[in-house]
């Protein structure tokens, strides 16, 4: 305790204590200001992240709404396309049925042409050939054609050319009726 009474040492200790106090005070102030800036920076960053999160959530909600609307639109479009597909399948089936009907008429017509070629005209046709021609005419489902073929076969008073023309006209009318 010798230095307690020594005014020079007491003064030095006082100055040293004063310098240390000022140093600690300034350090505390600087660290406090830095901590405050860091806190403000973190708070600003947090607010920015929250804003971005809200914007992202709003964007996601918009995208979800758009996707739901797109889903509804695509479902409607799918239904429309399925209806159109069904209608087109019906048209194809109708076309194929008509095509098959025309093929049966053409088969009958080709048979008549074949007989003309075989017999070199309109005479000497056999009963078996008539029956085959009649079956081909019945395959068309055209009763007018069948009755015309029966008439052409059984009519002996009408000129063969007139009978052939009547059969060809019945075939032509049948094909035109299909189309």
Output the CA angle 160-168-109, nearest 5 degrees: 110
Which range (22-26, 60-64, 75-79, 159-163) has the least confidence? 159-163
Query: Up-side HSE of residue 63: CA atoms within 13 Å toward CB?
Result: 6
Residue 11 lies in a domain: no
The answer, as to whether pTM is greater than 0.85, is no
The first and second tokens of residue 18, run together, are 């004063």
How many domains does the structure of the chain reveal? 1
Rounded CA separation 9/43 (Å): 49
> pLDDT over 90 for what percent of the chain?
51
Question: Which residues form the domain of 140?
Answer: 97-178
User: Quick one: CA dihedral 160, 165, 166, 172, positive or negative?
Assistant: positive
Query: Up-side HSE of residue 40: CA atoms within 13 Å toward CB?
Result: 6
pLDDT recorded at residue 65: 94
Residue 63 lies in a domain: no
Residue 86 lies in a domain: no
Burial label for 17, CB within 10 Å (0-12, 13-18, 19+), is exposed
Contact 115, 133 (CB under 8 A): yes
Burial label for 132, CB within 10 Å (0-12, 13-18, 19+), is middle
Task: List phi, psi (to 5°) of 159.
Answer: -60, 140
pLDDT recorded at residue 1: 47
Indicate if the pLDDT at residue 106 is higher than 50.
yes
Residue 169 lies in a domain: yes
pLDDT-derived band at 31, boundaries 50, 70, 90: very high
Residue 46 lies in a domain: no
Residue 101 lies in a domain: yes
pLDDT recorded at residue 124: 75
CB atoms within 10 A of CB 142: 23
pLDDT recorded at residue 4: 56
Residue 174 lies in a domain: yes
Residue 170 lies in a domain: yes
């Amino acid at each position: 305790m010798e230095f307690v009474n020594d005014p020079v040492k007491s003064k030095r200790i006082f100055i040293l204590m004063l310098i240390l106090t000022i140093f600690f005070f300034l350090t505390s102030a600087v660290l406090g200001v830095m901590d405050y800036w860091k806190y403000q920076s973190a708070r600003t960053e947090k607010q920015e992240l929250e804003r971005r999160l809200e914007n992202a959530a709003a964007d996601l909600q918009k995208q979800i709404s758009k996707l739901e609307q797109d889903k509804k639109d695509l479902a409607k479009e799918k239904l429309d396309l399925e209806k159109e597909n069904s209608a087109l399948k019906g048209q194809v089936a109708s076309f194929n049925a008509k095509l098959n009907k025309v093929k049966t008429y053409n088969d009958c017509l080709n048979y008549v042409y074949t007989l003309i070629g075989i017999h070199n005209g309109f005479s000497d046709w056999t009963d078996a050939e008539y029956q085959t021609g009649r079956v081909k005419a019945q395959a068309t489902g055209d009763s007018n054609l069948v009755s015309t073929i029966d008439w052409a076969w059984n009519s002996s008073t009408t000129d063969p050319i007139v009978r052939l023309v009547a059969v060809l006209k019945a075939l032509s009318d049948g094909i035109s009726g299909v189309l």
